[in-house]
Every structure is written in C-alpha cells, then in structure tokens.
Amino acid sequence: MSEEPRYRIRVKFGSTEIEVQGDKEFVESKFNELLQSLSKEITAAPEQPKITGERISFPEFIAEKSRNIGKDPANLTGPQKMMSIAYYIYKYESRDFSYDDVAAGASEARLSGLTNPRQYTSDLIKKGYLQEVQCPQEEKKKCFRILRRGIQFIESNFQVE
C-alpha cells in the first residue's frame, strides 16, 4: 500500500508566514485562496510612506543613532559616519550625496575622523552599501546613492549580515 505524496507550501508576506500541508488539490486550492486574499490586501491598502513628524537635524540624528549602539558619535568609525550622512540625506532630503555633503555633515555635527572619505566610499561601494551615480547639476562631480543593503546596515544599527 503506497502512501499518497504530501505537498507543502510556505508563504511569507511581511511578518506573516503561513504554511499549508496536505494532498495536491488541497494545497493548490488553499494557495490560490491565500494568493487572492493577499492580492486584495495589497491593492486595497497600498503602503503609505511613514510620516515621522518634524525633520530632525543631522547632529540630532547621529547622536540618536550612536545612542542606539551605546557609543558617542565621536567613537563611530569613519565608514559608520559616512553611512550615517548618506542615510540622513536619503531619508530626510530624498537625494543622492556628494563629498561636499560629507564635509558639510561632518562640520555640522562636529565629527572628526572623516579624513579619507574617498577611501571609505570605495570600501562601501565594494561592500554593496553605496553606488556611484551621475550628479544632477555638475557632470564632473562624483555623487553616490545609498543602496538597500546600506539602508539595512544603518537601520540595523551597523550590524553586518
């Protein structure tokens, strides 16, 4: 007597995970129901941008980010400071950044230790945190875009995957 094969499917949507197990017809029907239900939710309630209220200054932002990991802003590494500036510009100004922005952010927050931003940028590009892009106004200027992996690095309080 041979046993009928069992089928299993696992669907993860955001923080919700659903697993269905059974014979082929049952799993297919439940999967189709889930798919229809999820597609209705997605189209009915598109994700709204998070409104965080008033825009905070960069010194406040880096002080908060440093507190989250139990460090003083001055004790962050050069790459951590660089990524903080990139993330702040991405989140609060919705644009790419240049070396001028790095200098301005370091000056505004009175950060030292950003003596070699070009080397940090090169290393961060190799790690997949940043990407070089064309500057909108000046062709000769280098601009950079924070990538998804860089955003995750900052939002996870500098935890490396």
What are 101-135's pLDDT values in tens digits?
999 999 998 888 788 899 999 999 999 999 999 88
Express as a percent the part of the chain with pLDDT over 70.
82
Q: Which among 10-24, 46-60, 147-161 has the top mean pLDDT?
A: 147-161
User: Going by C-beta distance under 8 Å and a sequence separation of 6 or more, which residues neighbour residue 136?
Assistant: 96, 143
Q: How many CA atoms lie within 13 A of 30 on its CB side?
A: 15
Strands 97-98 and 130-134: unpaired
Determine the pLDDT at residue 102.
92
Read off the pTM: 0.64
